[in-house]
Amino acid sequence: MGIAQKAADNNQPQPVWQYWKRYDLRGERGNRYIYAPNFWREGGKWKRNESRTYRPLTCGGLFFRFARLGDYGDLDPATHLEELDTDRNAQAAYDWADQWGVLGLTIKETSEGRSYASTIGGAEDTVVRFAEEAWAANAVLRLYESATSESSPDVATIHEIMEYGGVDRRSRSIFTSTPERARDWALVSAAEQTQERVSRYCHPALYRRSGHNHFRQAPAFRNLLGALWLEMFWLLLSDDTRRCHNSECNRIIPFEPTPARDLFAQNIRDTGYATRVDKIYCSKRCANRHYYKTTTRKRRQATRGS
């Protein structure tokens, strides 16, 4: 039985996020943004946009998908934010919205004066902000993976992220002078950045128990970005992570978060995560690489020697 099915069977409360059938890339280069129109014209006819909802917290590894965009060439890096509005980054932002919806950075107000994150996108759901947030997630995840490496902290990667993040040369030299210092800096930095975003975009919420006058607590998020960072928050609380089976890779394989977790509960696997027992690689790329090293290459070597 899958996690989502268990959630339904246990009648667990789950916040949802809305995404639309069609999104457009609007604006001029340097200020392009994602937007879901009410109608669009196709084949000489006007079509009405339709929406659906899903539960981000049951999509195990959604934060990892977001953060890994910077690892596989889906995003262009830049030293200045205005350089992030590239065609590659625009395509990445559009593809993400097409599958998962916008990050929800555009704020709207109701007639009563209440504000909410828009799921249709808008002026704040720009290509620049999308790329900026994806690279920030990438840096935090890599810092944590480098600091908690099973052998020893990956000082070179930590130093690289420091440099890209604008840490001055003297501070980089001090905080990476020993593996222990590098590890401590990386862990503190990852925790601070995660906490800042969870504090900004997430909050505990009350859900009424079905057929009762009592409530239960479960995490809620103001936008999709909050749901993503909540997964990183739980990862930092976990004392049980699984690394990619490819010895050349240090990446963590995401577990699926159990729905309706207590926002402040300790993240232990038997109550907080579940995963397929046969999922031992972070990607097909690593699975293929490991198969080549352990099988294909040895077979070729044996053939040459015979």
The low-confidence residues of the chain, meaning pLDDT below 70, are 1-13, 79-82, 255-278, 290-292, 298, 301-302, 304-306
Quick one: which H or E segment has residue 53?
strand 51-54
pLDDT of residue 267: 39
Would you list the DSSP string of 85-142? --HHHHHHHHHHHHHH------EEE-TTS-EEE-SSEEEEEEHHHHHHHHHHHHHHHH
Distance from C-alpha of 277 to C-alpha of 98, rounded to nearest angstrom: 30
pLDDT, tens digit, for every residue of 36-70? 999 999 888 999 999 999 999 888 789 999 999 99
Residue 109, Cβ density class (10 Å: 0-12 exposed, 13-18 middle, ≥19 buried):
exposed
Is the Cα dihedral 139, 140, 142, 143 positive or negative? Answer: positive
| Residue 1 confidence (pLDDT) | 35
Q: Tokens representing 138?
A: 């990438």
What one-character-per-residue DSSP string does 140-208 give?
Answer: HHHHHHHHT-SSS--HHHHHHHHHHTT--HHHHHHHTSSHHHHHHHHHHHHHHHHHHHHHHHEEEEEEE
Check: CB of residue 295 under 8 Å from CB of residue 39: no
What pLDDT does residue 116 have? 92
Pairing state between β 107-109 and 115-117:
antiparallel
Burial of residue 6 (CB within 10 Å: 0-12, 13-18, 19+) is middle
> Quick check: pTM over 0.85?
no
Residues 66-121: tens digit of each pLDDT: 999 998 888 998 765 568 999 999 999 999 999 999 999 999 988 788 899 999 99
